[in-house]
Amino acid sequence: MKDINQNQTPLFTALKEYSKSGIVPFDVPGHKQGRGIKEFTEYVGTTIMELDVNSVKCLDNICNPIGVIKEAEDLAAQAFGADHSFFLVNGTTSGVQTMIMSACKPGDKIIIPRNAHKSAISGIILSGAIPIYIQPEINENLGIAMGVTVERVKKTIKAHPDAKAIFLINPTYYGATSNIKEIVEIAHQHSMAVLVDEAHGAHMGFHKEFPPSAMELGADMSAVSLHKTGGSLTQSSLLLLKKGIIDPFTVKTNLNLTQTTSASYLLMSSLDVARKQLATKGEEILTKVLKLVRDAREEINKIDGLYAFGKELVGTPGVYGFDETKLGVNVRKLGLTGFEVYDILRDHYKIQVELADYYNIMAIVSLGDTERSLQALVAALKDIAVKFRKDVEIKMITNVLKNPAVIVSPRDAYYSSKRVVKLDDAVGEISGEAIMAYPPGIPVVAPGERITKEMIEYIKLLKEEETLLQGTEDPYIEYIKVLGLNTNGFGK
């Protein structure tokens, strides 16, 4: 791709020009520049509403971009080291689904770590692929899953040489990266595509002190949540493609199966500007971000009972590299669960961290953070360690992180006849639904898997902690659908 000026914002510029043109709209959206929903417009401002337009000719169309959207996508492809990029307005979920659908047909095998996001499971259901789960490494001290090792990949490929693709995470929710370069080389030797969920790694290719991005390492496709760590609006992401195994027209066709035809120009133009900022100022901004998070990690590690883990994990199983902006803090020596600390931070200190599990909390530090915001977090953790500490230590439970037994493909399980049973009575059954805490959206159990006692105990533990659970038709997770004839309904 020829060099192009990364200071340009073709889509955002065209959108601003259109909004200033004095056009009289007789198309959708029906609020007509905000006049039709005055209460909302008065709060968010008229500029936002004037920029919320439909796919008019001069603004191009996301389903078949040939104008300013195409120009903006080409700029993004160059900035991220790809040959093609596709704007996403259904979040990275639609990108993950499209990657799997573009690499796998019904019945094809895909090698995938079990700590993948629920979007990967839905992509497997949509494509009809057969998941071959590869066990991620487990850090027993922290109680979290890390990356996958080259050795496990080799072993899995040897057992399943007919697999069509390998799916990887770069980085994991807590910041661990695998040796993607070597895995790509091995996969390509076996004509397997490498698909990478890079939802939390949009920033990594723009500063040399981060692990490299999937495109830099030779992956075939990656889905990048620019809204998570790159500055664009929530729900806006990128799908990136390298020439080779996967055809770009196949990708476009599959993307158009699941993505809206009424793409938000607010979302797309924010991608345009966020890409410009990363491409032109990313190194400068991320240098400051790294200093902030390093200083905060150092201060947190001085607090008795807390462990803010970081790059010292590199070289341990499943950690080839580490993204330092993932500020994970193990809190169990305070006698508190991560869920408790998550709630205390929000309710007592007005601090919202990204997620919690039973043992840890995790704060994402990104482009918009300041010294003041990090100081507030550190001060709150110091206070919690004194005021809320308990004289116990949270017991470690890691069995639930092991790969479950897949009895039926997720697609077959999704479409099979099902019956409803009480969660307590589901041990040994084959699940017809997924159950996950969100965030991070990694299923405790997925469709087609054998439900174990450990799974149920962990789900009940999550419920006791008032974790946000989802996936089942029953909103209270008292019941679960399992495979078999439908004989009962909820509450019967």
pLDDT of 180-229, one tens digit each? Answer: 999 999 999 999 999 999 999 999 999 999 999 999 999 999 999 999 99
Q: Are 414 and 106 in contact (CB under 8 A)?
A: no
Contacts of 131 (CB under 8 A, 6+ apart): 109, 110, 112, 121, 124, 406, 409, 410
pLDDT of 118-134, one tens digit each? Answer: 899 999 999 999 999 99
Residue in the structure block whose two tokens are 């809320």: 388
DSSP 37: S
Distance separating alpha carbons of residues 10 and 14, to the nearest angstrom: 6
Q: What are the tokens at 292?
A: 């902030």
Whether 176 shows a pLDDT value over 70: the answer reads: yes
pLDDT of 14-49, one tens digit each? Answer: 999 999 999 999 999 999 999 999 999 999 999 999
Q: What percent of the chain has pLDDT over 70?
A: 96
**How many residues are present in the chain?**
492
Q: What pLDDT does 27 receive?
A: 92
| Structural domains of the chain ordered from first start | 10-278 (3.40.640.10), 283-387 (3.90.1150.150), 404-483 (3.90.100.10)
Residue in the structure block whose two tokens are 């029906």: 30
Q: Are 430 and 448 in contact (CB under 8 A)?
A: yes
Question: Helix 248-258 to helix 91-103 angle, to the nearest 10 degrees?
Answer: 130
Q: What pLDDT does 491 receive?
A: 37
Where would I find the beta strands (DSSP E) of 260-344?
Answer: 307-308, 321-322, 326-330
pLDDT of 53-67, one tens digit each? Answer: 998 999 999 999 999
Q: What pLDDT does 464 receive?
A: 84
Longest pairwise C-alpha distance within the chain? 67
Distance separating alpha carbons of residues 99 and 224, to the nearest angstrom: 12
Residue in the structure block whose two tokens are 């909004």: 19
* Residue type (1 letter), 89: V
Q: Are 117 and 136 in contact (CB under 8 A)?
A: no
Q: What pLDDT does 488 receive?
A: 40
DSSP H or E segment with residue 364:
strand 360-364
pLDDT of 237-293, one tens digit each? Answer: 999 999 999 999 999 999 999 899 999 999 999 999 999 999 999 999 999 999 999
- Nearest CA-CA partner of 97 in 72, 125, 75: 125
pLDDT of 80-120, one tens digit each? Answer: 999 999 999 999 999 999 999 999 999 999 999 988 888 99
3-state secondary structure at position 466: coil
**Residue 250 — left, alpha, or beta (φ > 0 → left; ψ -120 to 50 → alpha)?**
alpha
- Nearest CA-CA partner of 442 in 124, 121, 168: 121
Contacts of 187 (CB under 8 A, 6+ apart): 153, 157, 166, 193, 194
pTM, 2 dp? 0.93
Burial code (b: 16+ CB inside 10 Å, e: under 16) for 441-469 equals: bbbbbbbbbbbbebbbebbeebeebebeb
Q: What is the number of other CB atoms lying within 10 angstroms of the CB of residue 367?
A: 19
C-alpha radius of gyration, the chain, whole number: 23
Peptide bond just before 65 cis, omega within 30 deg: no
Residue in the structure block whose two tokens are 């508190």: 336
| Main-chain phi, psi angles of 104, to 5 degrees | -130, 140
- CA 32 from chain centre, in angstroms, equals 34
Mean pLDDT of the chain: 93
